[in-house]
C-alpha cells in the first residue's frame, strides 16, 4: 500500500509540474514542451531527485510518445505523404549524410579511432520527430506541407538509422555483411509497404463493421489495439516503436473524421504525452557544465549536428522556397532516443569512451531544447498557416 | 529495447483479450466485466502465464480503477448522496456487522483460534465497489437511487473496514487502544467532511478560472490532477485510493456537464479500466479446486459472505421496497482488494494459516464473479431504470 501512495503522489507531482511549467512557458510565448522538459530536469536526479527509479514512469512515457505519434499519424493522409515522398526521401538521405560526415571527420580530427568516429557519426544521424510533431500540433499546423515532408523523412530516417546502426555495430564486431544490411533494409521496407498497401485495405474493411459491436467505443478500442500492435511489431524488427504508431495512425487517417478517432484520443494524449517530455527532462545530465573541455567538444558536435541537418535537409527541401526549407531543416534537427541508444551501445561495447558518450547526450539534449522556440519563431512568421489553431483548441 | 517490444506485445495481448471476451460476453447478454476477468484468468499464471511479473500492469490496473471510480463520482451529486445518507449509513453498518459475525462464528466452530476468527471476519467486511460501479455504468443506471446508496455505503464501509483492520492487527500485536481507533476514525471522517465542505467550494471557484488558461484542456487536466491528489491522500491515510478518486469525482460532479469532464475521461476509461479487471483475473488461484476439504470451507465462507451482506444491506435498504433492497444487497456483495489485503496481513503476521488465506481469496473471487450476472438480471427486470443507456452509448 505504501508503494501505491508514493506512486500516486509521484504521478501527481509529474503531471502537475508538467502542466504548470507548460502553462508558464505558453504565457511567455514559448513552447509548452520546453516547460515539460524543464519540469523533468527539476524533478529528476540532477536537482530534486523526486521521481525515483521505478520503471513505471519510463513506460508511461513510452506509451505517451506512442499516443503522440499515433495522433500525428491520424492527421496525416497516406496520399499526401506519397505526394511529398520524393522530397521526403531527398531530405532524409541528405539529412543523414551531412551530419554523419561532419561528426565522423570531427571525431577523427580530435584524435579518436575510426570506430569511435563511426559511432559518433551514427549517433548524429537519426531524427527524433516527437518534439517537432508536438510543436507543430501545438501550433495547429500538423497538416502543412512542411510537416508532411518532415514526417515522411523521419520514417525513412529511422530505416536509414537502423542500417547505419547495423553497419557500425557490425564493423566493431567484425560481423558486418552486405547480406545482413540488405536483409534489415528489406525487412523494414517490406513492413512499411505491406502496411500501407495491404494493412490499410484490411483496416478500412474491418473498422466499419466493428462499429456495430456491442462494446462501447469498439472502433476506438480497435484503433488503439492496431496502434499497440504496429508499435510492438516495429519495435520487434528494431525500428522505433513510434514509427509503428505513426504508421498505424496514418493508415487510419481516412477513417479519422468518420469515427472521431483523434478527438477520442485527446484525453489519453493529454494525460500520457507529458510523461514522455518530463522523463526526457530527467535524463538531462548537467554535470558536463563542470567540465570545460568536454563542454567545448559537445558544443562543436552540437553545431555540426545542427548545421549538418540544416544543410542536408534544407538543401533537400530547397525547391519549396527558403522559408519552408528552413522550417524543414530545423524540424529535422532534434535527435532523440535513437542517438542515445547508439551512444549507449557504443559505450557498452567499449567502442566509445564515457566522455564521448556524455558529448552525445549533450548534443541530443541541446538539439531537443533549441528546436521548439526556433520552429515556433519560424512558423509564426507565416500567418497563412495559422487558422487551424482555433479548431485545435476546441476538439468537440 | 527488447523490454519495450515485450511490453507492447503484452499491452496488446491484455487489451485485445479483454475487449474480445468482453464483446463475447455482451453478446450472450452477460457483463463485459466477467469477460475481462476471464481474460485475466487465461493470460495469468494459472493458465497461459503470458503477463510476467512486471510491476507495470498492476500499476495500470490501479490507475484504471481510480479512473473508474472518478468517473462514477462525476455522475454522483453530493446532494443526492446526502439525501440517501441515512440509508447508506444503515446499509454500511449492518453490512459490516452481519458478515463479520457469521465469519467469526463459523471460523470458531471449525476449531480455529479467536484471532483467526477475527481476521476471517474482518476480511469479509469491506465491499469492493469497483465491480458494482462498472456493472451499473455499463447498464447506464449509475445515477439511480440504488447506485447512490451503494456508493455512499461503500465509502462508509471503507472507513469501517479501516477501523476493523486497526482492531484486528492491534489485537494480535497487543497494541490496540481506544485512542488509536478514535484517531483513525477521526482522520478518515475529517478528510471526507473537509473535502465535501471546503474542497468543493475551492474547486468550484478555481476550475472556471482555469478554463481561461492557455494550456489545451486545462480544466480537464486540473480535474485529473485533483483525482490523483485525493487518491494519493486517501491512500496515505490508509483509506482505499479509490475512495479518494470517488470523492474527487463527486466534488466535481456539479461542473461535469459544463466542462464535459466525464466525456473527456472516456478514452482514458476505455483504455485503462480493462487492465484493472484483467489483473484481477490473473490473481485467481485455481489450485483450490484440487483440495476438496478447502473448497468446502471456501464455499461455506462464500455463502456466509453473500448472505451476510444480503441480510445486512438488504435489511438496511428494506424501506425502498424488496426489489431495490435486493439490488442494494447484491451490489454490496463483491469483496475485493481490501479483503485480500487483510488476509495477506494476517498471513504475514502468522495470525492465519495459508489454508484460511486461500479460503478468503476464493471468497473474494466468487463474490466478484457472481455479482455482475445477478445484478444484471435484477436490474433488467426494472425497465423504468433503463432509458439513460441510450445516452451513455453516444457520449458526443
The residue among A1, A4, A7, A8 with the most chain B CBs within 10 A of its CB, best to mutate, is A8
In a domain, residue B96? The reply is yes
Q: Considering CB atoms only, which of B66, B215, B270 is closest to A19?
A: B215
Q: A350's torsion region: left (phi>0), alpha (psi -120 to 50) or beta?
A: left
In a domain, residue B42? The reply is no
Cβ atoms within 10 Å of B169's Cβ, excluding its own: 19
Cell of A304: 555540426
Q: Considering CB atoms only, which of B54, B59, B214 is closest to A23?
A: B214
Chain A nearest-CA residue for B222: A16
Percent of chain B with pLDDT over 90: 35
CATH code for the domain of A197 = 1.20.1530.20
In a domain, residue A5? The reply is no
| Phi, psi of A167, rounded to the nearest 5 degrees | -65, -50
In a domain, residue A306? The reply is yes
Cell of A225: 489495439
Give the gap in angstroms from C-alpha B20 to the nearest C-alpha of chain A. Answer: 9
**Which pLDDT value is given to residue A172?**
59
The residue among A215, A261, A277 with the most chain B CBs within 10 A of its CB, best to mutate, is A215
Give the gap in angstroms from C-alpha B235 to the nearest C-alpha of chain A. Answer: 5
Reply yes or no on whether the pLDDT at B175 is more than 80. Answer: no
Cell of B311: 441480510
In a domain, residue B391? The reply is no
The confidence band for A339, taking pLDDT boundaries of 50, 70 and 90, is confident
Give the span between the Cα atoms of B44 and B285, in whole angstroms.
10
Give the gap in angstroms from C-alpha A210 to the nearest C-alpha of chain B. Answer: 11
Q: Do A12 and B267 touch (CB under 8 A)?
A: no
Q: Which residue has the higher pLDDT, A2 or A192?
A: A192
Cell of A112: 579518436
Helix intervals (H) in B28-109 = 32-43, 56-74, 78-83, 85-109
Q: Do A215 and B32 touch (CB under 8 A)?
A: yes
Reply yes or no on whether the pLDDT at A159 is more than 70. Answer: yes
Number of domains in chain B: 1
Torsion of CA B112, B117, B119, B123, to 10 degrees: 120
Chain A nearest-CA residue for B210: A23
In a domain, residue A183? The reply is yes
Measured between beta carbons, the chain B residues lying within 8 angstroms of A137 are none
In a domain, residue B28? The reply is no
* Per-residue pLDDT tens digits for B10-56: 999 999 999 999 999 889 877 788 899 899 999 999 899 998 888 89
In a domain, residue A24? The reply is no
Q: Considering CB atoms only, which of A59, A220, A229 is closest to B56?
A: A59
Structural domain containing residue B180: 68-277+290-381
**Which pLDDT value is given to residue A389?**
42
**ipTM for this model:** 0.84
**Which pLDDT value is given to residue B218?**
92
Q: Which residue has the higher pLDDT, A328 or A72?
A: A328
Amino acid at each position: 500500500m505504501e508503494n501505491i501512495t508514493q506512486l500516486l503522489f509521484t504521478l501527481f507531482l509529474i503531471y502537475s509540474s508538467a502542466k504548470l511549467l507548460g502553462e508558464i512557458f505558453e504565457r511567455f510565448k514559448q513552447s509548452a514542451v520546453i516547460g515539460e522538459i524543464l519540469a523533468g530536469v527539476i524533478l529528476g536526479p540532477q536537482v530534486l531527485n523526486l521521481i525515483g527509479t521505478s520503471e513505471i514512469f519510463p513506460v508511461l512515457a513510452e506509451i505517451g510518445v506512442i499516443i503522440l505519434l499515433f495522433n500525428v499519424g491520424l492527421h496525416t493522409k497516406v496520399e499526401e505523404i506519397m505526394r511529398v515522398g520524393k522530397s521526403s526521401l531527398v531530405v532524409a538521405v541528405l539529412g543523414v549524410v551531412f551530419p554523419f560526415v561532419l561528426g565522423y571527420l570531427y571525431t577523427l580530427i580530435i584524435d579518436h579511432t575510426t570506430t569511435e568516429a563511426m559511432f559518433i557519426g551514427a549517433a548524429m544521424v537519426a531524427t527524433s520527430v516527437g518534439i517537432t510533431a508536438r510543436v507543430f500540433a501545438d501550433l495547429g499546423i500538423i497538416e502543412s506541407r512542411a510537416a508532411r515532408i518532415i514526417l515522411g523523412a523521419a520514417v525513412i530516417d529511422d530505416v536509414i538509422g537502423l542500417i547505419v546502426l547495423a553497419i557500425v555495430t557490425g564493423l566493431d564486431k567484425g560481423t558486418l555483411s552486405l547480406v545482413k544490411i540488405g536483409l534489415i533494409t528489406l525487412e523494414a521496407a517490406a513492413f512499411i509497404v505491406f502496411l500501407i498497401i495491404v494493412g490499410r485495405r484490411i483496416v478500412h474493411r474491418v473498422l466499419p463493421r466493428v462499429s456495430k459491436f456491442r462494446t462501447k467505443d469498439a472502433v476506438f478500442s480497435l484503433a488503439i489495439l492496431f496502434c499497440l500492435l504496429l508499435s510492438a511489431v516495429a519495435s520487434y524488427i528494431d525500428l522505433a516503436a513510434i514509427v509503428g504508431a505513426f504508421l498505424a495512425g496514418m493508415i487510419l487517417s481516412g477513417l479519422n473524421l468518420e469515427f472521431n478517432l483523434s478527438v477520442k484520443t485527446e484525453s489519453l494524449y493529454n494525460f500520457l504525452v507529458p510523461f514522455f517530455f518530463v522523463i526526457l527532462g530527467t535524463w538531462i545530465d548537467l554535470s558536463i557544465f563542470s567540465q570545460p573541455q568536454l563542454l567545448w567538444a559537445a558544443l562543436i558536435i552540437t553545431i555540426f549536428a545542427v548545421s549538418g541537418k540544416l544543410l542536408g535537409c534544407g538543401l533537400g527541401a530547397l525547391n519549396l522556397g527558403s522559408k519552408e526549407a528552413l522550417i524543414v531543416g530545423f524540424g529535422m534537427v532534434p535527435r532523440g532516443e535513437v542517438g542515445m541508444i547508439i551512444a549507449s551501445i557504443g559505450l557498452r561495447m567499449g567502442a566509445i569512451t564515457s566522455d564521448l558518450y556524455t558529448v552525445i547526450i549533450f548534443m541530443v539534449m541541446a538539439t531537443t531544447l533549441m528546436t521548439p522556440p526556433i520552429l515556433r519563431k519560424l512558423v509564426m512568421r507565416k500567418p497563412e498557416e495559422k487558422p487551424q489553431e482555433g479548431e485545435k483548441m476546441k476538439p468537440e
